[in-house]
Amino acid sequence: MVKKIILFGCQAISIDVLRFLHSQRGVEVSKVITYEVPSDLSLGQESIKTVASDLGIEAISPCVITMELINEIRDLKPDLIISAYYRKIFCKELIDIPRLGIINIHPSLLPNYRGRTPTAWAILNNEKKFGVTIHKVDDGIDTGDILVQATNDIDDDETGYELHLKAMSLGAKLLIKNFSNIVNERIDPIKQPIGGTYYGKLKLQDFLDWQQSAQMIKNNVRVRARPYKPIETILENKRFSINKVSLEEGHNHLIEIPGKILKVNNDDSLVVSCSDGAVHIQEYSVNPPFTGVEKEAFLQPGRVFHV
């Protein structure tokens, strides 16, 4: 019996899942519904609409899920709906359509880090591990029964973009590995434990707060590092975009005014004080750029970045 599937999603994870589904005998992808945004393509992501078209599968990107679309999906009689990085909440009318329900690939170890951008929140909270959960969708936000999970490490210098890509790759692999057991109902869903955590929309700092701890400063830099827009700090009329910092371990600098330049290295990297020590600014750019004379005047110990 052919399993009919509708895929909701965007970015690389949805493309990996789509290509896998298309390769499976006995599986029909009836439709792809996506919610691509300009930043996806600007960061080098493939368009799932293009990939679906190449595979002969209809792909649409509606602004809203209307009752007309819900009725169209109902008429397709899908056995399963898969959500792979789809950015909208599913209504009950849609959840009730497929025989096997809707499953979602969520980049955290539920019940912790429900909600948006869990990988970014994990970095800001200085987590050392993260995970991916495939769960059934109910009328809550990431509260449905758990099917499978996988855990992975967060590297000390991993950026928000790198961790996002790692999570997407792990999520696709987890779905592919367990797909047969999921569609053939060989996995018993497990109710999520009481409790857990929820994180809403992430509002990132535009500027470094030098009164924070060294670790928090590093995490704020990591989560916004290129190819995202790096966090900034200001020295007089110059904006420094900070792309990478490390903790200044074992330094012998006295605690100073937060934001004070303590040392300028030969490669122009900077050691700067913060609330509990110092950080080493390893990668940065300056706007407007230094003239030759300005560079020597600005990059010297004792100068203080705005807090």
Question: pLDDT tens across 222-281, in order?
Answer: 999 999 999 999 999 999 999 999 998 766 666 789 999 999 999 999 999 999 999 999
pLDDT digits (tens, 9 = 90+) for 105-143: 999 999 999 999 999 999 999 999 999 999 999 999 999
Per-residue confidence band for 45, with pLDDT thresholds at 50, 70 and 90? confident
Q: What are the structural domains, with CATH classification, of the chain?
A: 3-199 (3.40.50.170), 214-298 (3.10.25.10)
CA dihedral of residues 145, 147, 153, 155 (deg, nearest 10)? -70
Find out whether 65 and 87 touch, Cβ atoms under 8 Å.
no
Give the tens place of pLDDT for each residue, 46-100.
899 999 999 999 999 999 999 999 999 999 999 999 999 998 999 999 999 999 9
Contact 282, 307 (CB under 8 A): no
Residue 133 burial by Cβ neighbours in a 10 Å radius (0-12, 13-18, 19+): buried
